[in-house]
Amino acid sequence: MSVTREDVLNALKTVKDPVTGNDLVAAGLVRALTVDENGVRFVMEIDPAKADPMEKARAEAEAKLKSLGIDKVSVAMTAHSAAPKPPELKGTARPKPAGPEAVPGVARIIAIASGKGGVGKSTVSANIATALAAEGRKVGLLDADVYGPSQPRMLGVTGRPASPDNKTILPLRNHGVTMMSLGLMTQEDEAVVWRGPMLMGALQQMLFQVQWGALDVLIVDLPPGTGDVQMTLAQKTHLNGAIVVSTPQDIALLDARKGIDMFNKLNVPIYGLIENMSTHICSNCGHEEHIFGHGGVAKQAEKMGVPLLAEVPLHLDIRTASDGGAPIVVSQPDSPQAQVFRGIAKQLIADGNA
């Protein structure tokens, strides 16, 4: 899709908010905007009493975007009162800080990003987190992938996090990693609601009201793309660095470049690129094949002057391990596949980044 985020915003600026008379963007109605090859998604946060006129604005916005040639436009309308909330937290009205704020007890925050979905960002995050834990680091993993939280499954964690004092949320822990996920705050079939207005608030709660304890490093598994979650995270807290995961395919690389540009604009250092699904290693015979091509990420990294942290092979065991709730670093720590992730962890520690 050749339509840019800018094009989308410009189109939305031509639609009037029937309540304030401003355009939708100026009225702050467009939330969690994601523009990628799957289309355009965003949320309009509305006053439920104004649902009828707002529905007209929503339909107009959708029609305008479709007229740009965008096939899939998904505009969800939500109201604060209608969204299910995470544990009701009392007495926690925080003064809204203007700039980024440190997360108490957390020494460093590293974001793991990808330009597009399905490149293995969550798999990489889970394995880096467990590999850092294996090196003796105190590690947290925040699953901020609102469009498909997968860390509970990958780390084999179930249950709802408790909030005994109604002020803080107790994270869960497995394989030496302290973990919190938006996926644990919703019923499975309700995940879509997090695309709503609660999203930014929920993200802030995940950062500041979860009792992370003392951590050397908090890994944040971001949603794919360059949407509002990434911006919010970089604005609300201090991101020490970012790692961008890509597959060798051209399109994924192009998207990865957008991700890198975004972090550059946000002044977040890029620790490096990871090429995932680099080489296919047959689990029967060990034969190596470059299904998606090979070396593209290395070339791109060189071109952009960022390090290539690792090339992770496409291997069935990596998938089955994650699906089984124990990442390969935990279930087969001595396998060559696990060694790749352990190498990344050692590198991050050696560089003073984790």
Ligand X SMILES: Nc1ncnc2c1ncn2[C@@H]1O[C@H](COP(=O)(O)OP(=O)(O)OP(=O)(O)O)[C@@H](O)[C@H]1O
- Of 81, 169, 96, 80, nearest in space to 182 by CA: 169
Q: Residue 87 or 120: which CB sits closer to ligand X?
A: 120
Find out whether 99 is annotated in a ligand binding site: no
What residues contact residue 100 under an 8 Å CB cut-off, 6+ apart?
234, 235, 236, 237, 238
* Minimum CB–partner distance for residue 259 and ligand X (Å): 12
Q: Say if CB 211 and CB 202 are below 8 A apart.
A: no
For the bound state, the minimum distance from the C-beta of residue 17 to ligand X, rounded and expressed in Å, comes to 32
Answer yes or no: are the C-beta atoms of 305 and 299 closer than 8 Å. no
118 is in an annotated binding site: yes
* Partner residues linked to 245 by β-bridges: 114, 274
Q: Which is nearer to ligand X, 64 or 315 (CB)?
A: 315
Flag whether 340 is marked binding. Answer: no
Nearer to ligand X, 112 or 218 (CB): 112
Q: Which residue lies nearer to ligand X by CB, 38 or 353?
A: 38
Closest contact distance (angstroms) between CB of 351 and ligand X is 23
For 160, 297, 334, the CA distances from 277, given in Å and listed in that order, are: 32, 11, 19
Residue 121 in marked binding region: yes
Q: Which residues would be at the binding site for ligand X (CB under 6 A)? A: 114, 117-123, 145, 148, 150, 224, 276-277, 312, 314-315, 318-319, 322
Report the nearest approach of ligand X to the CB of residue 354 (Å).
20
Integer-rounded Cα Rg, in Å, for the chain is 20
- For the chain, the 3-state helix, strand and coil shares in percent, each to the nearest 5, are 35, 20, 40
CA distances from 286 to 294, 313, 315, 322 (A): 17, 11, 10, 20
| Residue whose token pair is 């608030």 | 201
Dihedral, CA of residue 29, residue 36, residue 247 and residue 241, to nearest 10: -30
Which token pair is 81? 């009162």
Per-residue tokens: 9? 């915003």
Please state the closest distance from residue 191 (CB atom) to ligand X, in A.
Answer: 12
Residue closer to ligand X (CB basis): 127 or 300: 127
For ligand X, give the closer residue by CB, 68 or 298: 298
Q: 117 among the known binding-site residues?
A: yes
Q: How far is the CB of 321 from ligand X (least distance, A)?
A: 8
Q: Can you say which residues are annotated as belonging to the binding site?
A: 115-122
Q: Can you say which residues are annotated as belonging to the binding site for ATP?
A: 115-122
